[in-house]
Amino acid sequence: MKAVDDYQDVRRAMVAEQLAAQGISCPRVLAAMRDVPRHLFVPRALITQAYDDTALGIDCGQTISQPYIVARMTEALELPAGEPLVLEVGTGSGYQAAVLAALGARVVTVEWIPALAERARAALEAAGLADRVLIVVGDGTAGVDDAGPYDGVLVTAGGAQIPRALLPRLRPGAALVLPLGEPGHQELVRLHHGAQGWVEESLGGCRFVPLRGPCGWEGE
């Protein structure tokens, strides 16, 4: 297997040709995407595809999100400088949490499937980012006791409803970014509390694995 640094050129190319070219412009997000070794977060058999701009299968029928979507969601949080605190629902491979950590955030990330939480922890350790990320096993849509308030919240699994329990955990002005809709037709939505109340913006179409629990699709 190649050393971590052997993938730097291919990561640079991914950032320039796939992310910047598709409109990601925040320098901090682009730098974090250049820094995080995505190949450590994909199954070994798929390592040659680690820097393609596609979602890939991980264990337990779940996926690691497409780099463009990770960058888009991270950018949409509009995190303050310094050391913002971010909640992620749906740890999956741990890659999104790693990108947030590389950007300087402290991350609380919740994963429903214990085996994935375990694997994500190992990948974050290999990437040298584990000290900035707390992984919790459970239903993230219920929030995490005593944690927050957050400077941003991401839900990285698709559901039918906004997990309302997370809204009071947002710091004033902070955004919740999540995929909403139906299994085959989801939209990335950004929600924040403006002067007149909650404001919902659409960031375009997307496709995520199902969110479990009461905010998920019926029968999932």
- In the complex, the residues that contact ligand SAH under the rule CB under 6 A are 62-65, 89-90, 92-93, 95-96, 110-113, 116, 139-141, 156-157, 209, 211-213
Q: Is the dihedral of CA 43, 46, 47, 53 positive or negative?
A: negative
Q: In the complex with ligand SAH, which residue's Cβ is closer, 75 or 139?
A: 139
Q: Distance between CA 26 and CA 218 in Å, rounded?
A: 37
Q: In the complex with ligand SAH, which residue's Cβ is closer, 61 or 172?
A: 61
Q: In the complex with ligand SAH, which residue's Cβ is closer, 164 or 199?
A: 164
Q: In the complex with ligand SAH, which residue's Cβ is closer, 124 or 170?
A: 124
DSSP secondary structure letters along 94-131: SHHHHHHHHTT-EEEEEES-HHHHHHHHHHHHHTT-GG
Min dist. Cβ of residue 157 to ligand SAH (A): 4
Min dist. Cβ of residue 194 to ligand SAH (A): 27
Q: Classify the phi-psi angles of 168: left when phi > 0, otherwise alpha if psi is within -120 to 50, otherwise beta.
A: alpha
The neighbour count for residue 136, using CB atoms within 10 Å, is 16
Is 65 catalytic? The answer is yes
Min dist. Cβ of residue 54 to ligand SAH (A): 13
Q: Distance between CA 137 and CA 119 in Å, rounded?
A: 12
The residue annotated as part of the active site, out of 25, 65, 93, 202, is: 65
Residues labelled as active-site residues:
65
